[in-house]
Amino acid sequence: MGKRIPGGFRATAAFVKPPILAVTKREWSGAEHFPRDRGFIAVANHASYADPFTFAHFLYDNGFPPHFLAKASLFDIPVAGKVLAKLDQVPVHRGSAKAKDAVDAAHELLERGESIAIFPEGTLTKDPNMWPMKGHTGAARMALENDVPVIPVAQWGAHELLAPYAKKPDLFPRKRIVVQAGPPVDLDEFRGQNPDLATLRGATDRIMTTLTTMLAGIRGEEPPSELFDPRASRARDHEGE
């Protein structure tokens, strides 16, 4: 198993897990790829607001307390914000002087041998068919600067429990949730280099392509030949106006 689960996580799981167990049928696999002797970054695709629950459930069930990088505004919510802070979740202050605080906090967790959970896309995928899209470079930068492995975790089915951008879940019948961890993403060619934009973009695309290939196996479908790029899509839309 992973590290000993702290009491705060166990108490939260005792409250959160029962309703998840009641409405899902889980197919977990690939836990043998999680390092047991060092910190690591787990990355997953993101198609539903229910994904953080299934992702966290998967990590927790395999012995790893899930530490997410979360929007700083979530920590301002009464009660919930205090719970997030006590569980060592990492607030991300995007575009502010405090942005580096998340990097420092993540570094400390990784040095302690903890795992960090990240959705590299930063938001729900904009791909029309819910394939992973181009990701932000934060996960790659963190992995290269801390010299830790990136474990890809492909998941599928949470969108049937809670459709993209929906506010009301579809609880019954129980939904099949597949979560599969794979071997560490091969980032050797990017390690030991100056982490410039080209290096970080190459490493990030490698991460997202790996997730896409894994997801294709789960879905039994042919993935797109290129990652969906929301910026390029917006530019094309403006050109058509």
Q: What is the pLDDT of residues 18-56, one digit of tens each?
A: 999 999 999 999 999 999 999 999 999 999 999 999 999
Q: Which among 98, 119, 118, 121 has a CA at the least distance from the CA of 110?
A: 118
pLDDT of 237 higher than 80: no
Residue with more model confidence, 106 or 205: 205
- Does some domain include residue 133? yes
CB-based contact 200:137 (threshold 8 Å): yes
User: pTM of this prediction?
Assistant: 0.91
- Does some domain include residue 2? no
Residue 235: predicted pLDDT: 55
- Does some domain include residue 1? no
Residue 191: predicted pLDDT: 95
In three-state secondary structure terms, 164 is coil
Distance CA 36, CA 4 (A): 11
Q: Is the peptide bond before 173 cis (omega within 30 degrees of 0)?
A: yes
CATH number of the domain that residue 77 is part of: 3.40.1130.10
- Does some domain include residue 220? yes
Distance CA 154, CA 149 (A): 16
pLDDT tens per residue, range 91-148: 887 766 677 788 888 899 999 999 999 999 989 999 999 999 999 999 999 999 999 9
Residue with more model confidence, 27 or 76: 27
Number of domains in the chain: 1
Q: Which two tokens stand for residue 199?
A: 């290096």
In three-state secondary structure terms, 152 is strand
CB-based contact 180:155 (threshold 8 Å): yes
Distance CA 27, CA 107 (A): 31
Q: Give CA angle at 167 (164, 168), nearest 5°.
A: 105
Residue with more model confidence, 176 or 89: 176
Residue 1: predicted pLDDT: 45
CB-based contact 168:108 (threshold 8 Å): no
Confidence of residue 219 (pLDDT cuts 50, 70, 90): very high
Residue 60: predicted pLDDT: 95
Residue with more model confidence, 3 or 189: 189
Q: What letter does residue 88 receive in the DSSP assignment? A: T
- Does some domain include residue 51? yes
- Does some domain include residue 44? yes
- Does some domain include residue 189? yes
Could you give the residue ranges of the DSSP H alpha helices within the chain?
Answer: 7-23, 51-61, 80-86, 99-111, 138-146, 158-161, 197-219, 230-239
Average pLDDT over residues 172-195: 95
Confidence of residue 84 (pLDDT cuts 50, 70, 90): confident
Q: Which domain holds residue 165?
A: 7-239
- Does some domain include residue 226? yes
Confidence of residue 234 (pLDDT cuts 50, 70, 90): low
